[in-house]
Amino acid sequence: MPNSETYRTLDLFRDQLELEADFQFGYAVVLRQNHGKPLLRGVGSTPHKAVEDLAEKWEKG
């Protein structure tokens, strides 16, 4: 489970986060650089789980 500091950091980039449909997992949250190339992508069966996955990947670097 990602820590609260990670969520606060991701909140700074909320204008660059996009919610998308993912055919395998259900939902994907994508962090894009200036709405271009995807930098990081989290997936899950709900939007919340997709954000958790994104936060875990953020923490791993």
With residues binned 3-state (H G I as helix, E B as strand, rest as coil), the percentages for the chain, rounded to 5, are: 50, 35, 20
In this prediction, residue 61 has a pLDDT band, given cuts at 50, 70 and 90, of confident
Its pTM stands at: 0.88
pLDDT tens readout for residues 6-59 = 999 999 999 999 999 999 999 999 999 886 899 999 999 999 999 999 999 999
Q: Does residue 50 or residue 1 have the better pLDDT?
A: 50
Residue-level pLDDT at 1:
82
Q: Which amino acid is at 37?
A: K
